Structure 1
Amino acid sequence: MNKLITTVFLIVIFCSGCSSSKLIKAYKNPETYTFEASKVLVIGMTANKELRSSFEKNVAEALDKENVNAVKSVDFFETSFTNRKQTIEELNALESQLLEAGFDAIVLTKVVGQQTKVPLIAVYDAVEKGKHNTFDKYYYGNQNLFFDKEPAHYIVYSTETSLYCICPGKERELLWQGTIEVTKSSNSKRNIKDYTKTLIKTLKENNLLVVE
């Protein structure tokens, strides 16, 4: 039991200093070993305009620090562009417009889902108390559940990020796509910052955009 307590304690301490985001799965085009772009368009797909602006600004600035010329879609698109759904023909016209403006890549991110999870220490408490305590101690230690409006939990967002090449002769070719989980906190800027760190790190490891 003591060994288990020590192990769980170390895990909790370790995780408390972790980033709130992590790469879950990814796909890389097998035909693409390395890719460097002259100009990248950063698009955050969300109806929340403030969040979109903050996200695109953070990612664009991080790419700029890596000597990648990145432009926010909020600066490139006219307001009317995202106010209505675009047709395939209009998106093809946009691709031509991007090529004329010197773009050769697009980084696009969207939230694809969310999960509610129970903290590790809460799971441990339930298991340990169920095994080693008497009814009265177990009940005493958990009776707050009758009074708490919501049990302890946290929300994790699943984001999907795609890197497309819009090079001449290639029709919006997918170079890389990854799922990054982001733990929700009250500080959305921190969430975006941690997500961006994970994204840049992953792009470096795959020799995409940010080539070391």
Structure 2
Amino acid sequence: MQSDTSHAPQGTVAEAKVSAPFTEQGAEHRTAGALRMEPHEREEQILQVASEHFARKGVLGASMSAIARDAGITRALLYHYFPGKDSLAAAVTRREAKAVLEALGEHHENPEEALRNALRTYFLVVAGVPTPGGEDFPNNPTDYLEWMLKRTGMPINDRTRVILGGWLQLVDYFALHVVQLNPRDQRTVRTRGLGLEEAIDLCLGAVDTLTGGY
């Protein structure tokens, strides 16, 4: 069974150009029983369906045709919102990553401040500094990722997991080199090119890129 390519078929693109402006009403006229939605509602519906497909089959194994079918729309309308699987996967990752990070501060009024506090706790735990709430806090990126995903309680696709894992490697690298004592080998770090808050700012900047604006 052949998988979809990352871009819309040439015929679909040509049809879209001829029928400009492309409207959801016109596209759904060709889909029996399709429910008309506002653009933001349709986009959210597509992302929800796509996230389920990506979580079950992985990004590479998922089919754009199957996603369109389960969303109750035509492939043309799917490609109108997302021109290819890459752009759809990127949007799903931003959505999932944001949900994972917001779960760290589910009872906090300011999600960014909650994430900053969580990163600060991780830095101090890695340093071996006694920290309130740090007794059961993970002290390595692998365990930290699993801890974050467990708190979210939602399926995450392979692409999102890799990207979040990569970001946590960055966090861990800063933690190991900013703290004064590395408990993993009890070696004092003599030269610190960054302060704690500056390192956290850099980690938050990376999150902004990851989520499209956290």
Taking structure 1 as the reference length, the TM-score comes to 0.22
Choose between structure 1 and 2 for higher RCO, CA contacts under 8 A separated by at least 6 residues.
Answer: 1
1 or 2, which has the higher strand percentage?
1
Taking structure 2 as the reference length, the TM-score comes to 0.22
